[in-house]
């Protein structure tokens, strides 16, 4: 095993913060300045020799994650850096180190892959879990939802901010429309049912569900989306995120909560 290939693989893994086993052969070939076929020929036709040589240096090469996990991560990075329109099965397959056929086998198609990625990087599942508690503590529920929203909007890759940007720039785009058609009914099924129960219990005002959802979520979403910009404005430091959640939760309850 050529020593230089081992060092190249180790450097590529360190630069990306992943295990050597998660660095694709294409990336290693590019780092080595050779073609993938040449790399495979120097490795004897498979990756096993490289993994064995890395292991001999005292480093565990690790192993690749399942195709689904690698594809969702690759799609998330593409959405964050280049927007929804840049996400194709071919590009995701190349970045995830798998075949387009395997993506079809796992997801069924591009729209389903985008839905899986959005679900992973959005707070939908966690919010549904909070609402399933059926707590009568209105402020605690709102505050918990805000914390989940902040975590989802702030995490890297920044999938949610990129989706919001696409929604504002191209509201009629196919990618946005497919996501909205999948998740808007789901959001109404969870938040809508919760709001309806709170209205029936006499804890909040009887307002249209769409307006309640927008009044609850829009101020916090807008703050998080423009926070990276306002942080650059002199003498205008952003409050800590916990304080932001408290402030918006109290403002929302003052607007809709009944005595």
Nearest CA to 247 out of 235, 237, 239, 256 is that of 239
Q: What is the pLDDT of residues 164-192, one digit of tens each?
A: 888 888 888 887 788 778 888 888 888 99
Class of domain 67-109: mainly alpha
At 63 the pLDDT is: 62
Q: What is the pTM of this model?
A: 0.72
Distance CA 251, CA 259 (A): 15
CATH 1.10.357.10 fits 122-256, yes or no: yes
**Domain coordinates in residue numbering, the chain:** 3-56, 67-109, 122-256
Q: What is the pLDDT of residues 210-256, one digit of tens each?
A: 999 999 999 999 999 999 898 888 888 889 999 999 999 999 999 99
- Per-residue pLDDT band at 206 (split at 50, 70, 90): very high
Helix axes 174-187, 124-132, angle to 10 degrees: 10
Q: What is the pLDDT of residues 137-166, one digit of tens each?
A: 999 999 999 999 999 999 999 999 998 888
Q: What is the pLDDT of residues 66-97, one digit of tens each?
A: 788 889 999 999 999 998 888 999 999 888 87
Distance CA 146, CA 106 (A): 32
Contacts of 168 (CB under 8 A, 6+ apart): none
């Amino acid at each position: 095993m050529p020593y230089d290939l081992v060092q190249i693989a180790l450097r590529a893994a360190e630069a990306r913060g992943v295990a050597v086993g998660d660095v694709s052969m294409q990336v290693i070939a590019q780092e080595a300045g050779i073609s993938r076929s040449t790399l495979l020929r120097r490795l004897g036709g498979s990756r096993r020799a490289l993994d064995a040589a890395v292991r001999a240096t005292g480093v565990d090469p690790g192993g690749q994650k399942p195709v689904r996990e690698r594809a969702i991560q690759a799609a998330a990075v593409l959405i964050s850096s280049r927007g929804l329109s840049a996400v194709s099965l071919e590009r995701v397959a190349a970045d995830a180190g798998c075949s387009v056929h395997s993506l079809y086998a796992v997801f069924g198609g591009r729209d389903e892959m985008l839905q899986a990625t959005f679900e992973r990087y959005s707070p939908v599942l966690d919010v549904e879990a909070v609402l399933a508690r059926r707590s009568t503590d209105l402020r605690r529920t709102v505050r918990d939802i805000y914390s989940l929203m902040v975590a989802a909007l702030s995490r890297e890759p920044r999938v949610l901010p990129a989706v919001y940007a696409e929604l504002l720039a191209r509201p009629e785009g196919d990618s946005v429309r497919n996501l909205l058609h999948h998740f808007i009914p789901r959001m109404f099924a969870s938040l809508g049912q919760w709001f309806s129960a709170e209205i029936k219990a006499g804890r909040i005002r009887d307002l249209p569900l769409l307006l309640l959802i927008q009044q609850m979520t829009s101020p916090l979403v807008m703050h998080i989306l423009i926070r990276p910009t306002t942080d650059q404005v002199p003498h205008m430091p952003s409050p800590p995120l916990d304080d932001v959640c408290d402030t918006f939760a109290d403002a929302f309850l003052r607007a809709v909560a009944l005595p």
